[in-house]
Every structure is written in C-alpha cells, then in structure tokens.
C-alpha cells in the first residue's frame, strides 16, 4: 500500500458537488483518486483553504491557502512556499501528483526533491509540450515549468504526441503514456437509439481553446437542428469568445444548458446525436470518453483525435480540417442508418484496445500504483 498526495486547487468543487468549471485535469485527478482508493491505496489531497464538506475516511484533505494565479512570485516565496512545504512534509506521501503547466509545478518538484519524495507530473494539454506554450504562459512561467520537467521523477502523458515530444526533450526520463481514467457507470444496454435522441451536443469551458466562433458558423448552417451547449464562461474569457456567445444567444436553435455536473453528464450526452468538438487543441478530452461510454459518437478534426482512436475504431467522424465538420454533421443527419455506438464496440474498443481504465478493471490505476 502506498500513499499518493494529489495537489489540485479546484478539486474541492467536485468533492463538494459545486457547479464550477474545473477543467479536464481536475476531472482526471478526481477519477485517479477514486480508482486508487478502490484498489486500496492511501490518498491525501492538498486543496486550497476551502473546506471539503464530504467526509471520506479513505481520503485525507489538507487545506493550504487561497489559490490565485495572479499572485506575484515573491508572495510564493515568503507566504505560500512554507505552507506547501509543511503540508507535504506532514502528510509524508510516497508520491506527489500534480497536473498542468505553471509555476506551482516547479515549487512542488523543488519541495519533493528536498524531502526525497518522487514527483509525478501529468501533462494536461498538447500545447504544454511544444512551442505553443510560449503563447499561453509568460516567459518566466515557461522557464520554471521546463526546469520542473527536468527535475520530475515521472512524467505521465495522455497520448502519443505528448509522449514523443517529451521523450525527445528528455530521453532518459521515466515517461509513461497512460490514457485518462474513466469510471464506467452505465449499462450499455440502456443506450438510446438514434430516434430517441434529440440534439447535437457541445461541452466545455467557454474560452479561446474551445473555438466557439467556429461552432457558431456550424450552427448557422443548420437552423432546423437543435444544439445544446453545456458549459460556463472562463474567468478570463477572451473578446472573441464573448462575441461568439452573444451571437449564439440569438440563435433560436441553441439551448444553453449551463454547467453540466457529474450526475447529469450521462443524460446530457446520452440524448445527443453526436458530440461536436471544435477545439483548437486538446490532450485527451474527457468529454470524448464521457460520450463513448453512453454510446454517443464524436465529430472532430484530425488534430483533436488523440492517437487517431476515433477514426481507427470508428467511434465517430473525423475531418481533416474545420470546414469538414459541417459536412460530417450533415452526413449523420441524412444517413439512412445514423451512427450510434453499439455496446459491443464501446466495450471492446474503448476498454480492450485503449486500456482506458474504469473502477471495475483497475488496469491504469494499478499501473500508477506500481510506479
């Protein structure tokens, strides 16, 4: 039995079941925690100063400070660093896990090095492993993040692209490609037929990465087709996305479903003809996995088809470029035999070929526990 300390300042929203756009990395961490707990590992979770109301005897929650990404580095040095250092030392974990690029990755790996605790870093997005990170993060954060990757004991990747990029930069580093964990909690025989479905779904945080302006272009081409958009605006929403939302609100065939909680996501995606993805980039989107497990195909572009699994295993339709998505959507609507993933395909392709883990099978959870 080993003790894993997870560091995530948004995860308390999921434990407290509060409607808040946490992002994919937090959803993945939540699933890792549930899976590791199921196979008997000890779990500690380092959160901000928010109290977690759910009591779980198998998880120890450690409160620290209010997370604010705009805090200056000097505040980290004299105020936050000592708190993190004490929390990690007191919990005495076998491993510390953190996902996502930023200055905190360097702070954590620095502390872990001092205490000789192996540090596991999870790559959260494709842009974090190539030159695009320079556009997403300030220069100093990029510098410290790169130093953190050098010092990390293990780096976990979501897909082949991330693995190749990291392996090229750090050929001697211990790097593992482990697909995102998923908790399979629905009987495949309960999947709805195409005739029982009602709309096309889109799901995500309203931000630049998700490319809402192009979603608007698609929707305008199908005025008689219903589109349900799940999600809420990012804190620092960009002007282009805000403008697209205003235009989408004027479309009669668009329903804004708001935040879709973990208890409602199966119903939201299970009623959809397909899940549309318009993102500029992703890592391994959790929304894809959530769509697959309720028998809903995904419409996306080749650059957002992780390891080519959607095209290879016919789990949806993949376009070479954004302009192809409208044609693919039309193909689903006009096809005499519209596609809905069968239970056989979901079970064999998703779990046997991808080795994406659920609580029942424990493959990836055990792999992480055996590091």
Question: Residues 170, 249: one domain?
Answer: no
Which CATH number do you get for residue 121? 3.40.50.2000
Angle at the Cα of 354 (from 348 to 360), degrees rounded to 5? Answer: 70
Question: Residues 203, 166: one domain?
Answer: no
Question: Residues 288, 246: one domain?
Answer: yes
Distance CA 202, CA 138 (A): 30
Least confident range from 5-19, 33-47, 271-285, 352-366: namely 352-366
Question: Residues 321, 365: one domain?
Answer: no
**Whether pLDDT at 56 is above 80:** no
Region 218-237: mean pLDDT is 92
- Nearest in space to 218 (alpha carbons), one of 285, 299, 303: 299
* CA distance to 23, 24, 158, 166, 256, per residue, from 201 (Å): 18, 17, 24, 33, 10
For residue 353, what are its two tokens?
């070929």
Distance CA 298, CA 170 (A): 33
The pTM for the full model equals: 0.78
With cut-offs at 50, 70 and 90, classify the pLDDT of residue 122.
Answer: very high
Question: Residues 11, 129: one domain?
Answer: yes
Question: Residues 96, 153: one domain?
Answer: yes
- Nearest in space to 26 (alpha carbons), one of 52, 2, 45, 4: 45
**Whether pLDDT at 4 is above 90:** yes
* Total number of domains in the chain: 2
Distance CA 209, CA 236 (A): 12
Question: What was the pLDDT predicted at 337?
Answer: 54
Could you tell me which residue, 67 or 328, shows the higher pLDDT?
A: 328
- Nearest in space to 26 (alpha carbons), one of 55, 53, 47, 50: 47
Question: Residues 72, 197: one domain?
Answer: no
**Cα dihedral angle (81, 30, 234, 149), rounded to 10 degrees?**
50
- Nearest in space to 262 (alpha carbons), one of 228, 230, 237: 230
Which residues span the domain enclosing 287? Answer: 188-353
């Amino acid at each position: 039995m080993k003790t894993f300390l997870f560091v995530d300042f948004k995860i308390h929203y999921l434990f407290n079941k509060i409607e808040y756009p946490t992002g994919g990395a937090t959803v993945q961490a939540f699933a890792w925690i549930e899976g590791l707990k199921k196979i008997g590992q000890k779990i500690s979770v380092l959160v901000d100063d928010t109290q977690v109301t759910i009591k779980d005897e198998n998880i120890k929650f450690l409160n620290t400070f209010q997370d604010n990404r705009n805090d200056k580095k000097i505040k980290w040095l004299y105020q936050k660093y000592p708190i993190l250092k004490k929390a990690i030392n007191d919990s005495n974990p076998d491993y510390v896990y953190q996902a996502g690029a930023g200055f905190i990755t360097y702070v954590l790996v620095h502390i872990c090095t001092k205490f000789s605790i192996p540090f596991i870093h999870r790559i959260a997005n494709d842009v974090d492993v190539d030159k695009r990170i320079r556009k997403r993060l300030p220069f100093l954060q990029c510098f410290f993040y790169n130093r953190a990757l050098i010092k990390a004991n293990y780096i976990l990747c979501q897909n082949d692209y991330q693995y190749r990029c990291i392996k090229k930069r750090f050929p001697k580093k211990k790097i593992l490609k482990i697909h995102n964990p998923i908790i399979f909690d629905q009987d495949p025989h309960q999947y709805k037929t195409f005739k029982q479905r009602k709309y096309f779904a889109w799901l995500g945080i309203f931000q630049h990465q998700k490319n809402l302006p192009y979603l608007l272009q698609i929707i305008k081409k199908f005025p008689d087709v219903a589109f349900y958009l799940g999600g809420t605006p990012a804190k620092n929403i960009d002007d282009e996305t805000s403008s697209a939302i205003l235009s989408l609100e004027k479309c009669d065939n668009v329903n804004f479903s708001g935040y879709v909680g973990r208890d409602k996501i199966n119903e939201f995606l299970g009623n959809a003809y397909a899940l549309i993805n318009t993102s500029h980039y992703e890592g391994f989107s959790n929304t894809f996995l959530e769509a697959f497990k309720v028998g809903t195909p995904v419409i996306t572009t080749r650059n957002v088809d992780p390891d080519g699994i959607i095209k290879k295993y016919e789990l949806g339709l993949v376009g070479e470029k954004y302009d192809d998505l409208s044609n693919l959507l039309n193909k689903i609507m006009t096809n005499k035999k519209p596609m809905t993933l069968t239970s056989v395909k979901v079970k064999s392709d998703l779990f046997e070929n991808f080795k994406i883990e659920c609580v029942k099978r424990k493959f990836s959870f055990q792999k992480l526990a055996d590091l």
